[in-house]
Structure 1
């Protein structure tokens, strides 16, 4: 074909050229091309379906990002996402109670933010600084009376808003650690060392919880602090023995006070009961004497009225009534006639016991 005819026919058809090349490849491969493509497509579909499925645990929620932008929050269960890195899923444990420890570490802890580590250590980033030294450093605090105390504590918190937790603060767990240490130093610095070590623990926990939650809300961290609990509070090692003696003396003081109160509670009610009993007995005796005196006065008045009407009869009756009361009390009675003469009165001075012994002798 001449160049002139080629210019008239125009450029070659690309679809036709591709079809011819594909036909030649099929002829060379012996018909295996279709099977290989099918297998490749099936593998790609399987991988896409596998990467699209994910499960959210029962104590967590899923925060879905599409092209790096927040999309939605999904509840626990089985969900689908757009594959090939279009959707990214962050699992946030919203129903699990998390904690951070200060000054000590629990062996076997799985949460990296539970204890101090190089990622959340604000004092030093050198690898030569051991975590034990960092833990001691975060417990050293100055009290309001310019003394030093080693304070260990734990905070327990939950993730209340997963969106704010992930996007409002760059490192919410590390920020919470800094906030907790700052607040605890402020609260301890407002009290004396005796209050921190002995009687002020509960007040420190309550005030620290209130201030930590206020700062967490101010920074929009998406965190709800449930509890602040003080653990060991000790003085520095050089003065620890003296503080232990002071604590023992205070405990002995409290023991003696409690024993005195127990003795007070035992004796005072008995004394008060005895006092009330004697008062009631005195009132009863008073009423009895008054009634008896009034009765005697009425009886005497009645008797005197009768005496005025018949003096001799009344005198005789009084004599007989008196003798009736007296005579039964006399053991031996001797009746002598007024006309009897020559009777010698005898006063026996021998005790009855001696008379009884003499009477038994032969």
Structure 2
């Protein structure tokens, strides 16, 4: 098969005729792509014209002057943002993974009692004013990070290591949140602090075994104190009840003895008065009453007169009580 040669002939007049339109079309197309902006539902668009603030646009489709005359910065004003200190989240999921290597300078702090502690925390915040966020402070995110670290170091530096590591953690987080919000208001950076969360607080690795031993000793001490208080609450009320019962019994016994003594004294006085009036009758009465009390307590009774010569016939009176050999 014979070779075939093809030649393309470009008409110079055609190029001159359409080249300008093509260039204009490309310029217009580039202007459309650079001038049409879409603002997300959680964002605000801040438009800067030749380096000066011009306007703020709401979510939706917007148009700016292209070719660098205007620029738009999209600010997530409806989204909660966060900054992490002492660690970084490598993978966020149900079982998140964290990276701590290389961030010890952020988290290592000196407490008020001159001890070192490793504090990891998270600052959650929102942008409430996009204008202030962009123009009142240079690099607001970096400034907020510096402010957060300064606030945490100040609050931790006013407390002991035991407070920071144990009972004072929530107080530290609340104090940092209040102080950081005040600093944001003073700097007018357009940021509202939602929450400061202490992620993890530990002693440095070099002293962690000793610190754990101290904590175990303190916990054991608290346990023993609680046990002692429980035993105290069990024994002392019972002892007080027994003491109160003994006191009441003694008071009742004393009252009984006093009343009995008073009754006997009054009886003696009445007998004495009766004796003064009738001595013989009173003596006879006393004798009979005494015998009435004594006689029932005596077993076998043998009564004889003073002229009796022998009592042998009377010894078998009580035949029911005969001793058997």
TM-score (norm 1): 0.61
Q: SS where residue 121 of structure 2 aligns?
A: strand
Q: 1:1-362 counterparts in 2 under 5 A? A: 56=41, 60=42, 62=44, 65=47, 69=53, 71=55, 82-84=62-64, 90=74, 92-94=76-78, 97-106=80-89, 108-109=91-92, 132-328=100-296, 330=297, 332-339=299-306, 340-343=308-311, 359=324
Partners of 1:61 and 1:73 within 8 A in 2 = no
Q: SS where residue 103 of structure 2 aligns?
A: helix
What is the rounded CA distance, in whole Å, between the counterparts of 2:129 and 2:118 in structure 1? 34
What is the rounded CA distance, in whole Å, between the counterparts of 2:309 and 2:103 in structure 1? 124
CA deviation vs aligned residue, 1:122-153 (integer Å, no higher than 9, x gap): xxxxxxxxx64332221112233443221122
Deviation at 1:229, TM superposition (A): 3.4
Deviation at 1:224, TM superposition (A): 3.1
Change in CA separation of 1:187 and 1:168 when aligned onto 2, cut-off 3 Å: same
Change in CA separation of 1:173 and 1:324 when aligned onto 2, cut-off 3 Å: farther
Partners of 1:162 and 1:222 within 8 A in 2 = yes
Q: How many residues align?
A: 276
What is the rounded CA distance, in whole Å, between the counterparts of 1:53 and 1:101 in structure 2? 30
TM-score (norm 2): 0.67
What is the rounded CA distance, in whole Å, between the counterparts of 1:326 and 1:224 in structure 2? 104
Deviation at 1:258, TM superposition (A): 1.5
User: How much is the aligned-residue C-alpha RMSD, in angstroms?
Assistant: 3.9
Deviation at 1:81, TM superposition (A): 5.2
CA deviation vs aligned residue, 1:192-235 (integer Å, no higher than 9, x gap): 43443344434433432332222122112333334433343222
